[in-house]
Amino acid sequence: MKRIRIILWFVVRNLFRRGRVAATVISSLGIMLLTLIALLGLGVLHGYQLVERARLQKDPLTHCLWLGHPAHRETWFTDKRLAQLAEVLKKVPEVKEWYPCREVRLDWFLLSEPDYSISLVGRTFLPNDPVSRVLPQAAAAASSLGVYVTSEFLTTLGKKEEDPLPEELAFRNLAGDLQKTKIAGILDQELPWRHRFLVEEGWYAEFVKKRPNVQAKRIRTGPLPAGWPESGKQLPEFVRSAFSKLQLLSPMGTRDEEERWVWEVRTWGDVEYSLSDWSERLGKIVSLMEANGFAITPSERQQFLRLEPLDISATEIEEATPYHFVVLYVPDLGHLKQVKAKLEAAGFVVRDPAYTIHRLDELGKRSASLSRVLAGIVGLLGASLFAMLASLQAMRTEVRRREIAILKALGMSNTLAATILLGEAAIIWAYSAAIGWAVAWPLGRFAIGPSLVAAEKEFATLCFVIPAVELIGVALVILVLSLATVLGAAWSAFITPPMRDLPA
Amino acid sequence: MVLDSGLGRMAIAFEIDNITCRYPGGTVPVLLGIKAEIPVGARVGLLGRSGVGKSTLLSVLGLLWEGQLEEGTVRYYPGAHDGFVDYRSVYDAGKRAKIRLCEFGFLFQSSNLVPHLTCAENIALPLLLRGWARSRWWPRVQHLLSLVEHTPGELTKLADRLGPYSGGQTRRLALLRAVCHNPRVLFADEPFSNLDSASIGAVYRILEAWHENRLHPQDPPEPRTLIVAGHDLECLWQLCDRFLVVCNGGNLLGNRVFSKEEITFDRLSQLIHGESLTHDGAESL
């Protein structure tokens, strides 16, 4: 304790002595500058990463992994597979929660304008869907999806371009009931990716297919089965209930000009897949239709089924596992790739989100190159400052050699003399780094960060964030540089002999 | 150790045992085969012409000589029961510094005040190095300053100020620094040179008071040894009771310390200023 008091007394007294102010200020400015640049660089770099991640994070779907068969076969996630998945996930702690999910489709069949039928499918989620919990508005948005209409469609309704967009649209659903729905927007605008919609063949289909985020695929066309109800009329009850049980979209269609039906089966993405599963289910429907008096020719049957229909009992239909996919909630986006790899190694197919992982990889690469540039700048600056401070310190030691010799003659030990010099450096380092930090924070937070990292208003606070680990790293680097500059001086003080006051 | 000097048996402070040393790289020894014993409580005047090695001998005795002694040794006896310190075996710089801090006081020829410290801090340096708080050393320094003032307030007003000081003030401050921690041994190099009579009187008073344990009455009385190197024989004759005369080559005259009863003022004066000093001359005393 006494020794610390002695060291402190001499350190403080020396720092504020006459004639030392300039040297102290220059040392302090050097360290402050280095702190400032290092912190500003790190803060902006980290801010850039955070903003990019926040953008990804904002979309609740990006931090969820979607497992399922690439062909979107509904029965793929059987109970057995779910149990297998549960076992695998015990060894993947990065996955916080997981849920088997199914898709509920919102189909709107616009009957008010039979020539331009549009069916929209929105993906909604089960109540325990983590996505809904992450971003509650996602669920609200999903449940309140309206329809997208084209400007041409509005024109047919007698609307002009300058007229405001109607908020609601009245139509009849498949059951023939009059319903109202919101108009979500005009189809000329780019649709969010999660929307899938179907159009019948014709010029409008061609128009829609050209849109960048739309995938429409014709699966089958053929004559209308005998006994099929007229357009706009209610489907037989048995068909609707069969489709409902099988979680299938009701077959839809209108007569075209040639009185031919257009059959469309939705595809998901670009994946080409076997229709066996569909065929299996369609087979059941065909059987039901035949049982109810519809005449179906063998060629029609072949077109429906593609494969021989299976004899599936009603019990089996009930037992079919209706899960379409499993959502894994991975809170940390950085773990997505790792989790994906683990699950794929376990034999599961990860359908999404490839884009998020790609973006994260890109982000990592870009940040790494920025980090290298920053490290280069800080390194060069540090080296110059080191040289400057070292020469300054050497000059100061020469000046102080006589003073140290006097103190040693009076009884100051070599260790104490060296410790005092080190203590001075440590104090200069500490307050310079503190001032550097105090300047860097508001400067980066309010000026430099937002000007270099473009971000939405909600992410404004992320433009400049200094992470703790890097902060400690910077502090250590600067401390080592400061100590290195003073080590020579401390050694010189250590070996300075006591004053003998002898004639030369 | 006990010295039989003819004045009765007395304890010794320093036993100089045939030491020889030279400057690093030097060819001629600056001290050559010196032997002497300095009694505890003595006031020893170290006399000799310039360049004969008086200051070097002070450095060696004060453990300021960092080089190795070529031959011989010095033994310092801190107290009656504390054993002794053999200078040849004290290699550790820290230990030497501790002995200097705890046992010795130094008054350098050129005073050597630390320019960036205030008057009071300069005086209190030995106390600061011992870890004294300001509340302890400040009253002591104030008291000491008042003892050497020519006019009231001359130095006490300067206590919290930085230099520069006049030559006399500087010497008095350096003296106060040498005695403020009440050392057992005080080494003074030319304490009276270039001083006016008033300052000489002040220096004399302080040294006397320190030696007689009157300077710090709160400290337990102990015999204190003063070793003064100088040219001013009158002052030294008045101050000291024993004398070492250093001759050419750093030899001590007769390798012994003379008491006032053994040598006269005139003879000392002759030895320093007039005659060539030889061992033969010493034998003829």
CB–CB of A10 and B66 under 8 A? no
Q: Which residues pair with B16 in a beta bridge?
A: B36, B74
**Residue A199 belongs to what H/E stretch?**
strand A196-199
| Among candidates B56, B94, B126 on the partner chain, residue whose Cβ is nearest the Cβ of A413 | B94
CB–CB of B112 and A501 under 8 A? yes
CB–CB of A13 and B117 under 8 A? yes
> Is residue A452 domain-resident?
yes
| Among candidates B94, B101, B112 on the partner chain, residue whose Cβ is nearest the Cβ of A499 | B112
CB–CB of B108 and A499 under 8 A? yes
Coil, strand or helix: which one is B157? helix
The chain A residue lying nearest B104, using CA atoms, is A410
**pLDDT for B277:** 45
Cα distance from A40 to chain B (closest Cα, Å)?
Answer: 38
Instruction: Tell me: do A453 and A338 sit in the same domain.
Output: no
Structural domain that includes position B99: 2-283
Higher pLDDT among residues A195 and A29, named by residue: A29
**pLDDT for A186:** 63
Q: Which of A289, A313, A348 delimits the end of a domain?
A: A348
The chain B residue lying nearest A12, using CA atoms, is B117
> Is residue A193 domain-resident?
no
The chain A residue lying nearest B100, using CA atoms, is A411
Q: Tell me the chain A residues in contact with residue B110 when contact means C-beta distances shorter than 8 Å.
A: 501
Residue A255 pLDDT grade (very low, low, confident, very high; cuts 50, 70, 90) = very low
Beta carbons of A494 and B107 less than 8 angstroms apart: no
Q: Tell me the chain B residues in contact with residue A498 when contact means C-beta distances shorter than 8 Å.
A: 64, 66, 97, 100
Q: Which of B221, B222, B256 shows the shortest CA–CA distance to B242?
A: B256
Show which of residues 163-192 on chain B sit within 8 Å of chain A, judged by CB atoms.
177, 189
The chain A residue lying nearest B67, using CA atoms, is A497
Which of A18, A408, A410 is the mutation pick for testing B, counting most B CBs within 10 A? A410
Higher pLDDT among residues A419 and A484, named by residue: A419
Q: Which of A447, A450, A451, A444 shows the shortest CA–CA distance to A474?
A: A444
**pLDDT for B126:** 93
> Is residue A263 domain-resident?
no
**pLDDT for A114:** 31
User: What residues contact A46, with CB distance under 8 A and at least 6 apart?
Assistant: A465, A466, A467, A470
Q: Tell me the chain B residues in contact with residue A399 when contact means C-beta distances shorter than 8 Å.
A: none
**Residue B71 belongs to what H/E stretch?**
strand B71-76
| Among candidates A10, A409, A416 on the partner chain, residue whose Cβ is nearest the Cβ of B100 | A409
Across the range A283-303, mean pLDDT stands at 63
Average predicted confidence (pLDDT) for chain A: 65
| ipTM, two decimals | 0.88
Tens of pLDDT, residue by residue, chain B (285 residues): 544 444 444 688 888 888 888 877 777 777 888 888 898 999 999 888 877 888 888 888 988 887 777 788 888 888 766 678 888 887 788 888 989 998 999 998 888 888 888 899 999 999 999 989 899 999 999 999 888 888 887 777 777 777 788 888 888 899 999 999 999 999 998 888 888 888 888 888 899 999 998 888 888 888 999 999 987 888 889 889 998 888 776 666 667 788 888 888 888 888 777 554 444 444 444
| Among candidates A2, A10, A411 on the partner chain, residue whose Cβ is nearest the Cβ of B101 | A411
CATH at B48: 3.40.50.300
Instruction: Tell me: do A335 and A422 sit in the same domain.
Output: no
Q: What is the number of structural domains in chain A?
A: 2
Q: What is the number of structural domains in chain B?
A: 1
The number of C-beta contacts closer than 8 angstroms across A and B is 83
Q: Tell me the chain A residues in contact with residue B26 when contact means C-beta distances shorter than 8 Å.
A: none
Q: Tell me the chain A residues in contact with residue B64 when contact means C-beta distances shorter than 8 Å.
A: 409, 498-500
**pLDDT for A152:** 60
Structure tokens at A160: 């002009």
| Among candidates B55, B115, B125 on the partner chain, residue whose Cβ is nearest the Cβ of A501 | B55
**pLDDT for A111:** 27
CB–CB of B112 and A412 under 8 A? no
**pLDDT for A244:** 53
Q: Is the peptide bond before B191 cis (omega within 30 degrees of 0)?
A: no
A64-67 and A97-101 as β-strands: parallel, antiparallel, unpaired? unpaired
Does B108 contact A at CB distance below 8 Å? yes
Q: Tell me the chain A residues in contact with residue B97 when contact means C-beta distances shorter than 8 Å.
A: 408, 411-414, 498
Structure tokens at A481: 């540089």
Cα distance from B79 to chain A (closest Cα, Å)?
Answer: 20
Does B101 contact A at CB distance below 8 Å? yes
Taking 50 as the threshold, does the pLDDT of residue A117 lie above it? no
Does A498 contact B at CB distance below 8 Å? yes
Show which of residues 16-35 on chain A sit within 8 Å of chain B, judged by CB atoms.
17-20
Does A13 contact B at CB distance below 8 Å? yes
CB–CB of B116 and A20 under 8 A? yes
The chain A residue lying nearest B103, using CA atoms, is A411
| Among candidates B66, B116, B126 on the partner chain, residue whose Cβ is nearest the Cβ of A17 | B116
Residue A125 pLDDT grade (very low, low, confident, very high; cuts 50, 70, 90) = very low
Instruction: Tell me: do A10 and A54 sit in the same domain.
Output: yes
Residue type, A169: L
Show which of residues 49-88 on chain B sit within 8 Å of chain A, judged by CB atoms.
51, 55-56, 59, 64-66
CB–CB of B114 and A501 under 8 A? no
Structure tokens at B183: 């050392």
Instruction: Tell me: do A484 and A381 sit in the same domain.
Output: yes
Does B137 contact A at CB distance below 8 Å? no
> Is residue A328 domain-resident?
yes
Q: Tell me the chain B residues in contact with residue A14 when contact means C-beta distances shorter than 8 Å.
A: 116
Q: Which of B61, B17, B62, B37 shows the shortest CA–CA distance to B258?
A: B37
Give the position of tokens 């065929």. Answer: A279
pLDDT tens, residue by residue, A409-435: 999 999 999 898 888 878 888 888 888
Taking 90 as the threshold, does the pLDDT of residue A151 lie above it? no
**pLDDT for B182:** 92
Residue A21 pLDDT grade (very low, low, confident, very high; cuts 50, 70, 90) = confident
Rg, C-alpha atoms of chain B: 19
**pLDDT for A115:** 33
Does A497 contact B at CB distance below 8 Å? yes
Instruction: Tell me: do A332 and A417 sit in the same domain.
Output: no
Cα distance from A410 to chain B (closest Cα, Å)?
Answer: 6
**Cα(B240)–Cα(B47) distance, rounded to whole angstroms?**
11
Instruction: Tell me: do A424 and A485 sit in the same domain.
Output: yes
Regarding pTM above 0.80, the answer is: no
Across the range A308-317, mean pLDDT stands at 35
- C-alpha angle with apex A25: A21 to A30, nearest 5 degrees? 155
Residue A194 pLDDT grade (very low, low, confident, very high; cuts 50, 70, 90) = very low
Structure tokens at B153: 């307030």
Instruction: Tell me: do A50 and A74 sit in the same domain.
Output: no
Show which of residues 443-472 on chain A sit within 8 Å of chain B, judged by CB atoms.
none
Taking 90 as the threshold, does the pLDDT of residue A207 lie above it? no
Taking 60 as the threshold, does the pLDDT of residue A106 lie above it? no
**pLDDT for B210:** 92
Across the range A31-47, mean pLDDT stands at 84
Cα distance from B189 to chain A (closest Cα, Å)?
Answer: 9
Least confident of A245-254, A294-303, B135-144, B150-159: A245-254
Residue A240 pLDDT grade (very low, low, confident, very high; cuts 50, 70, 90) = low
Higher pLDDT among residues A130 and A228, named by residue: A228
CB–CB of A408 and B97 under 8 A? yes
Structural domain that includes position A482: 2-60+363-495
Which of A1, A406, A491 is the mutation pick for testing B, counting most B CBs within 10 A? A406
Residue A295 pLDDT grade (very low, low, confident, very high; cuts 50, 70, 90) = low
Does B162 contact A at CB distance below 8 Å? yes
**Cα(A55)–Cα(A62) distance, rounded to whole angstroms?**
10
Structure tokens at A66: 């979607």
**Cα(A149)–Cα(A204) distance, rounded to whole angstroms?**
12
Instruction: Tell me: do A53 and A12 sit in the same domain.
Output: yes
The torsion defined by the Cα of A184, A188, A189 and A193, in degrees rounded to 10, comes to 80
CATH at A82: 3.30.70
CB–CB of B100 and A503 under 8 A? no
Taking 50 as the threshold, does the pLDDT of residue A499 lie above it? yes
Which of B52, B57, B59, B138 is the mutation pick for testing A, counting most A CBs within 10 A? B59
Does B131 contact A at CB distance below 8 Å? yes
CB–CB of B129 and A407 under 8 A? yes
Beta carbons of A327 and A130 less than 8 angstroms apart: yes
Q: Which residues pair with A329 in a beta bridge?
A: A64, A97
Does A212 contact B at CB distance below 8 Å? no
**Cα(A208)–Cα(A186) distance, rounded to whole angstroms?**
12
Q: Hey, how many other C-beta atoms are within 10 angstroms of the C-beta on A247?
A: 17
Structure tokens at B159: 């206590």
> Is residue A14 domain-resident?
yes
The chain B residue lying nearest A495, using CA atoms, is B93
Instruction: Tell me: do A78 and A49 sit in the same domain.
Output: no
**pLDDT for B68:** 74
pLDDT tens, residue by residue, A79-101: 777 888 889 999 998 888 777 66
Show which of residues 366-425 on chain A sit within 8 Å of chain B, judged by CB atoms.
402-403, 406-416
